[in-house]
Chain A
Amino acid sequence: MTWNEIKQKYVDKWLLIEAITTRTENGRRHLEQMSVIREFSESSSAFNMYKQLHQEQPIRELYVFHTSREELEVVEQSFIGVRGLR
């Protein structure tokens, strides 16, 4: 589904979604098609599930959004990460 379709179907909800098709243009990531994994009334529950799923399957592109957002503003950035002695 597109964000417009999702917004209409899920009103005033926090959603855990997975990006299905994306396009990157000038550092901006456009999420074209998404699937809704689950809806939540609290952001904390949505983030807990995000963290758990992301830990298990880091390759999946997951997001948490509230459906009161008009547009999804996602910017892309390369990242090296923390390099400790572990």
Chain B
Amino acid sequence: MKISMQNGLPVVEVPVSFQGQDVLIPNILLDSGCSVTIFDTDVVRPINLTVDPTQGRVRYMYGVGGRSEICYERLMDELSIFDRKVCSMTIQLGSTLMEYGYNGIIGVDFMQKLGMILDFSTMTIRFEERPLS
């Protein structure tokens, strides 16, 4: 997996599979300063990954200058990302494209779960081969 630098930040293309449907999402930010992983609601809609109407917490995030935004948590029984299956992970769905210019953000939760190795000398992502907990 190739990392490209855009505006001084690492960006990748991420294959995501959900319930037998696949989508390749470009323009995803790798952010080791972000604890959670979020996708824009528009980019995962093609694989029917949407906000659950009946449940899931909503996060009201407030920041500098009185700006706030909301995102929706969804517990995933099973999701495949970078062709690796993860179970029982919570992802967030929200507005990242208009807000930040990215289709999503891979945060520390998935980096850790997937055993991701970000290699800035070769500008690639590798994965720890040992079985992950």
Give the B-binding residues of A (Cβ under 8 A): 14, 29, 43-44, 47, 50-51, 54-55, 58-59, 61-66, 68-69, 72-82, 84-86
How many A-B pairs with Cβ below 8 Å?
Answer: 92
Do A51 and B61 form a contact, CB below 8 Å, given A62-B70, A69-B54? no
The reply to whether A75 and B60 contact each other, CB–CB distance below 8 Å, is yes
Residues of B contacting A73 in the complex (Cβ-Cβ under 8 angstroms): 56-58
The reply to whether A74 and B95 contact each other, CB–CB distance below 8 Å, is no
The binding surface of chain B is classed by DSSP as mixed
Do A85 and B95 form a contact, CB below 8 Å, given A75-B57, A76-B62, A77-B59? no
Interface residues on B, range: 35 or more
Minimum C-beta distance from B68 to chain A (A): 6
Tell whether B83 is near chain A: CB-to-CB under 8 Å.
no
